[in-house]
Structure 1
Amino acid sequence: MALSHKAKKRWSLVILVIALPIYMVLAVTLMSWLTGIGMRPPIWLELIIYMGLGILWALPFKHVFLGVGQADPNEEPRQ
């Protein structure tokens, strides 16, 4: 089911304002948990993990964000 342009804008806002901060808290909690149990990775590996998690969150939402910054293609042009 394809989302309308308006729905894409609303869902992208929900994802960026609500879901992304929750995901960031979970990622930092996971890394601090690893430190707490004595499995702190080297700094270069920790950087790679954070970069991977930073890219990983966007993959499932790729189609929601496509075209959100563009004008609505179904809207009639203004004169």
Structure 2
Amino acid sequence: MALGPKARRRWAIFILVVLLPVYIFVAVTLVGFLDRPPVLVELAIYVVLGVLWALPFKRLFLGVGR
């Protein structure tokens, strides 16, 4: 079932306003358990997690951007 433009927009706002802050909190908490890794390792973890959150929602955000 395809989502209409209005539904896509609503889901995108929900993801950005509710789910993204929760994801950020979880990511920071998990990295906090690593006992202060070296700065470059920590940076790499945040970059990977920053890209991974968006992959499942790629099609949704492409539809909203048009």
- Quote the residue 1:4 is aligned against: 4
- Quote the residue 1:67 is aligned against: 63
The offset of 1:3, in angstroms, is: 1.1
2:40 to 44, 49, 59: 44
The offset of 1:67, in angstroms, is: 2.6
What RMSD over aligned residues (CA atoms) do the two structures have, in Å? 1.0
**Structure with the larger helix share:** 2
**What TM-score results when the alignment is normalised by the length of structure 1?**
0.78
For structure 1, which runs of at least 5 residues remain unmatched after alignment? 71-79
Q: Percent identity over the alignment? A: 59
The offset of 1:69, in angstroms, is: 2.7
Rounded to whole Å, the distance in 1 between the matches of 2:33 and 2:37 is 12
For structure 2, which runs of at least 5 residues remain unmatched after alignment? none
**How many residues were matched structurally?**
66
Rounded to whole Å, the distance in 1 between the matches of 2:59 and 2:6 is 14
Q: Which segments of structure 1 move beyond 3 Å, counting only runs of 4 or more?
A: none
- Quote the residue 1:24 is aligned against: 24
- Quote the residue 1:77 is aligned against: none
**AA of the residue aligned to 2:44:** I
